Structures are given as C-alpha cells and as structure tokens.
Amino acid sequence: MLKVAVGHSEQVDVEDILEEIFEQCEETLEGEAPQAGIVFAAVDLEYQEILSGIRNKWPDLQLVGCTTDGESSSRLGFVDDSVTLTLLCSDTIEITTGIGRGVSQDVEKATSEAVEQARNAATLEPGLCVITPASMTVSSEAIVNGVKQALGPDTPLYGANAGDQWQFVETFQFFNDEVLSDAVPLIMFSGPISISGAVQSGWKTIGSIGTVTKAEGNVVFEIDEQPALDFYRNLLGPDATPTGDRPLAILDANKEINRLRASIEAYDPETGSITFFGDFSVGDQVQVTVANRNEILDGTRASVRMARDSFPDGQAPEAVMFFSCSGRKLLLGTRTGEEYDILKEEIGADLPMFGFYGYGEIGPSITGESGCEFHNETFVTVLIGSQ
C-alpha cells in the first residue's frame, strides 16, 4: 500500500506554515513515519527555515522539491503563493532520493550522480523517477537526456522544471534541508508500483510544415533556409512576432505533434533568429500552433483521461501527480484553477493530488509513441498506485 499525505498552506509566517501543513499531513499519516517528502513553494519564502522545520519533525525524512510558478493540491486546489508538502510511505515500495549538483558545469556527471544515489539506496528495481531540476542554467533537454541515459530505457521519467513566478532570475531546488540552485533533485519509486501517465496540450497546428535548417540549442536561425522569423510572418502577417501562445510544434514521422517549443518572446529582427524554451535540431519538421482557453483546457482533460484510462486493469490509483506549464497559467489567467477542477471531475475528489506550474514539463511524447521528452505548454498527468 502507498500512503500519500498532502499539506498545503497559504500562510506567510514560517511557524504558521509548518503548523498548518503538519496538522493536515498527520490527519492522513495516522502515526506512520513518512519515508520521503516533496515540497513545492512560491518564491520569496524562507525556504531554509521551512525545510529545517520539516526535517526537525521527521529527522530521517528524505526531502526533495523546488520553487514554482504556482501550486495545486487536493487540500486547497490551485493557489498562486503557497507551500505544499506531500509525504509518502509504503510497506512494499522503496522511495529513495538523489541530488546532482552543478548541473551547468557537467550535465552528465550531475544527472548520473543523482540517479546513482537514489538507485544505490534501493534494493528493488526502479519503477518511476520524478525530477524537479533547475531551469535557465543549462539546456533542459540535456538534463532530461542525462537522467534518461543513467536510468536506462525501462524506467518512466516525469517531472517539471523549477520556476520563479515569471521573473526569470533564479530558481531554487530542495534536497533534505538544503536550498540549492543549478541542481537536479530526484525521487525514485522502486518495487511493485503501478503507474500511468499522459501528456497533452490543446494546441492545434496551422499553416505549412517547415524544416529547421539552422539551429544552435534553443535558438532557431533558419527554417526552410529562410530567417526563422519569416516562417511566422509568412503565415501571420508582416508584423507578427513569436509569442508564448503560438509555440512551434516539432512533428513526428506521421506529421503529428510530438512536442511543443514555446518562444520566450525573444527574437533578433536583424538576423530573424528566435529563442525558445527548448532545443531544436537541424532537420526537425515544425509547424506553428494556436489555442484558445477552451482548447487549452480540452488538452488538460485529454491528458487526465488518457492517464486514467491506461492505468493497469484491476488496480486502482492511490495518488495523482501533475505538472503544468507556466505558459498555460499565463494564458488561462483567472481560469487556471479549472485545470485542477478537471482532475477532480475525471479522477474523483477522494485521491490525494499534488502538482505545480513550472518552466517546462517532462513526460512521454504527446503522441505516446516515443520515450520521455522535454515539453512546453503541456499538462502532464501521472497516476500512482501499489500493485
């Protein structure tokens, strides 16, 4: 059995935050000692005091997490400035953690160290890995690829990048009682765990398909041997600029959306280059996409339903994790809370749920036909249970 306790507080004072989340979690734990915890927190809080307070209460607790662009849980639903603590314990599933430091200095070393630390603490085979890494210090795809390589192809990988509420200054990651930056926290579930997951967006392709002919990392210089900016303007008009609500889709072999790349609304009018949140490769086939609020929420519902309907037959999920893009939050505005409402409608209100809004999501391709990818503008649903 997997027991998941969720605490969620909008308080500002550290003592009040801890008192509230402890009381909520203890209602569910009923005296059991948690093995691990996950903290998602708004920016500008006293992270060190919060982490130390949690570890003082449960000294052996393994703790991971990050700063976010908004938090959601089965306690309070969606909240913009808050702290969530999710505590986990199981009599059959091993839950271990790892940390990779200085990821911008050596991605491969940092990601392999995080995986190795979590794997060495377990005796059973890993069945799920979740990461909440730094953003803005190094390529997010490099982080995902490094973790994938260290894990091997058979372990599902999910998560999202840390956020800082659209300030794009610095994000923080949590490991035990440490507040870090430029790090990769990791939590691993090993043994008889059942999971299902899905990634959807709601965005639809428009216009013609182009081929990336010049790119370096997350900067696209040319599409179809013309300035990348012209690819937008040929479709949307001479004054059009790339915006977060018009991401480029990278297509699969069937011309379906494999993953999205949102622009950070930075472009060079001289060269026509465009900077995105995620990387491109020369030869990628791309297409402009658009969506309105209703279509974005349709994507949320599609993700939740796909995860629900693919959960192993004869078994029931015991918790729900979810990761959504800060770009979705920005575009949804006052309707952001409807993403959590959809979870309750489709899964049920009785399960513990927790998640956050970050700077890019991690999960399978949108088509589900390839392994883990780094995404923008998507909603990732993960259902967890014990076998």
- Residue 174's SS3 state is strand
Nearest Cα to Cα of residue 366 among 250, 245, 259: 259
| pLDDT tens digits, 305-346 | 999 999 999 999 999 999 999 999 999 999 999 999 999 999
Taken in order of first residue, the domains within the chain and their CATH numbers are 2-197+296-365+381-386 (no CATH), 204-290 (2.40.30)
Tokens of residue 181, six digits: 């930056």
Q: What is the pLDDT of residue 301?
A: 98
Burial 340-363 (b: 16+ CB within 10 A, else e): bebbbebbeeebbbbbbbbbbbbb
Mean per-residue pLDDT for 360-387?
Answer: 91
Which amino acid would we find at residue 27?
E
CB neighbour list of residue 101: distance below 8 Å, 6 or more residues apart:
110, 113, 180, 182, 183
User: How far is it, in rounded angstroms, from Cα 91 to Cα 64?
Assistant: 21
Q: What is the mean pLDDT of residues 16-22?
A: 98
Numbers of helices and strands, H then E, in the chain: 8, 26
Q: pLDDT-derived band of residue 245, with 50, 70 and 90 as boundaries?
A: confident
The SS3 assignment for 324 reads: strand
Query: What angle do the packed helices 107-120 and 140-151 form, to 10 degrees?
Result: 40
Average pLDDT over residues 274-291: 95
335 and 324 in contact (C-beta within 8 Å)? no
pLDDT at 243 > cutoff 90: no
Provide the b/e sequence for 64-88 (b: ≥16 CB within 10 Å). bbbbbbbbbbbbbbbbeebbbbbbb
Pairing verdict, β 62-67 and 36-41: parallel
Pairing of strands 83-90, 361-364: unpaired
Residue 73 bridge partners (DSSP): 77, 354
pTM: 0.96
The rounded distance, in Å, linking the Cα atoms of 13 and 19 is 10
pLDDT tens profile 29-50 = 999 999 999 999 999 899 999 9
Single out the residue of 354, 374, 372, 352 nearest to residue 364, CA to CA: 372
